[in-house]
Amino acid sequence: SQQALAVAEAQLRHTEAVLVRRTQAQAAMLAPNPSVTPDGAATNTNRYHVEVPAMWGFMRALARREAAASGAGTRFLGMRVAQLGPQDYEVTTLWEAPGAFEAWAGTT
Contact in structure between 90 and 81 (CB atoms under 8 Å): yes
Q: Which residue has the higher pLDDT, 14 or 83?
A: 83
Tell me the CATH number for domain 2-105. Answer: 3.30.70
Distance CA 10, CA 79 (A): 21
Contact in structure between 19 and 50 (CB atoms under 8 Å): yes
Per-residue pLDDT, 90: 75
Rounded to the nearest 10°, the torsion over CA 18, 21, 24, 30 is 50
Per-residue pLDDT, 85: 76
Q: Which residue has the higher pLDDT, 45 or 83?
A: 83
pLDDT band at 25 (very low <50, low <70, confident <90, very high): very low
Over residues 83-88, the mean pLDDT reads 74
Report the predicted TM-score, pTM, of the whole model to 2 decimal places.
0.41
Over residues 30-36, the mean pLDDT reads 52
What b/e string do you get for 56-86 counting C-beta neighbours within 10 Å, with b at 16 or more? eebbebbbebbeeebeeebebbebebeeeee
